Amino acid sequence: MAYDKFDVLTSTAVPLPIENVDTDQIIPARFLKATERKGFGDNLFRDWRYHTDNTPKEHFVLNNPIYGGKILVGGKNFGSGSSREHAAWAIYDYGFRCVVSSFFADIFRNNCLNIGVLPVQVSPAFLQRIFEEIEKDPKAAFTVELQKQTITIEATGEKEEFEINSYKKENMLNGYDDIDYLISMKDEIKAFESGLPL
């Protein structure tokens, strides 16, 4: 499924300074029963966000109106556990376009890149600085420039580069997905298949 292009994003950010946020927290398994990709944002962080009687948990960051924006900032090892792409869908559907952390789980990172959420991996020190800036001013703005592969703290101008392979970068800049690329290789794939031992 194609998605919106990603170029430059300037936004406030939502802080979640917790480590090892697993995809069961991002979206619990009982909300994976849909056969279409819609409505997942409502259940983003469901059990951290709502009590069992569906009333909001006031202390949780998504329920605090001071915070908002298109950037989600999480602690290290973000997105570990289950491969459910629904976690990335929930993040996108809620309105985030970028997740920042000092370390991402592999499958989650791939899933994000495949649906147009940019995972930005920064150093632990820079992650700390981002959390400090948001704590100081919840309206602090950050700019993510995909072309330059940089993230900037607007208030101070502090900047760090992040990595992304050039193929995925091109895809995100243009809103392309891998499926079209693979479909265009059909003849090559069929020739390859005919030579396989198993």
Partner 1 sequence: MSTGRTLFDKVWDAHVVRKIEQGPDVLFIDRHLVHEVTSPVAFLGMKKRNKKVLYPERTFATADHNTPTRNQHLPVKDPLSANQLRALEENAKEHGIPYWGLGHKKNGIVHVIGPENGITLPGVTVVCGDSHTSTHGAFGAIAFGIGTSEVEMVLSTQCIMQPKPKRMRITIDGQLNKAVTPKDVALYIISQLTTSGATGYFVEYAGEVFSNMSMEGRMTVCNLSIEMGARGGMVAPDRKTFEYIKGREYTPKGEAWEKAMDYWSTLYSDENAQFDKEVVFDGSTIEPMITYGTNPGMGIGISSGIPTAESLDGGVATYRKSLEYMDFKEGEAMLGKKIDFVFLGSCTNGRIEDFRAFAEVVKGRKKADHVTAWLVPGSHQVEEAIKKEGILEILEKAGFELREPGCSACLAMNDDKIPAGKYAVSTSNRNFEGRQGPGARTLLASPLVAAAAAVTGRVTDPRELMELETA
Among 54, 55, 163, 165, binds partner 1 (CB under 8 A): 165
Binding residue for partner 1, selected from 15, 110, 134, 142, defined by CB under 8 A: 110
- Among the listed residues 115, 118, 122, 144, the single contact to partner 1 using CB under 8 A: 115
Task: Tell the smallest beta-carbon distance from residue 20 to partner 1 (Å).
Answer: 5
150 forms part of the interface with partner 1 (CB under 8 A): no
Under the criterion CB under 8 A, does residue 49 sit at the interface with partner 1? no
Distances (CA, A) of 25 to 44, 48, 84, 140: 8, 7, 12, 26
Helix segments in the chain, DSSP class H: 23-26, 46-49, 86-94, 106-115, 124-136, 166-174, 178-183, 186-194
Q: Kindly state the smallest distance separating residue 135's Cβ from partner 1, in Å.
A: 14
Of residues 85 and 133, the one with the C-beta less far from partner 1: 85
**4 binds partner 1, rule: CB under 8 A:** no
* Position 12 contacts partner 1 (CB under 8 A): no
Does 121 bind partner 1 (CB under 8 A)? Our answer is no
The SS3 call for residue 98 is: strand
Q: Which of 55, 33, 53, 31 is nearest to 44 (CA)?
A: 31
- For residue 35, state whether it binds partner 1 (rule: CB under 8 A): yes
Q: Does 41 bind partner 1 (CB under 8 A)?
A: no
CA distances to 150, 160, 172 from 145, in Å:
5, 11, 12
User: What DSSP character marks residue 187?
Assistant: H
Is residue 76 close enough to count as binding partner 1 by CB under 8 A? yes
Could you give the 3-state DSSP secondary structure of residue 90? helix
Q: Does 149 bind partner 1 (CB under 8 A)?
A: no
Q: How far is the CB of 79 from partner 1 (least distance, A)?
A: 10
User: CA-to-CA distance for 107 and 82, rounded, in angstroms?
Assistant: 8
Axis crossing angle, helix 86-94 with helix 106-115, rounded to the nearest 10: 50
| Interface positions with partner 1 (CB under 8 A) | 1, 17-20, 22, 24-25, 28-30, 32-37, 47, 52, 75-77, 80-86, 88, 103-107, 110-111, 114-115, 165-168, 177-179, 181-183, 185-186, 188-189, 192-193, 196-198
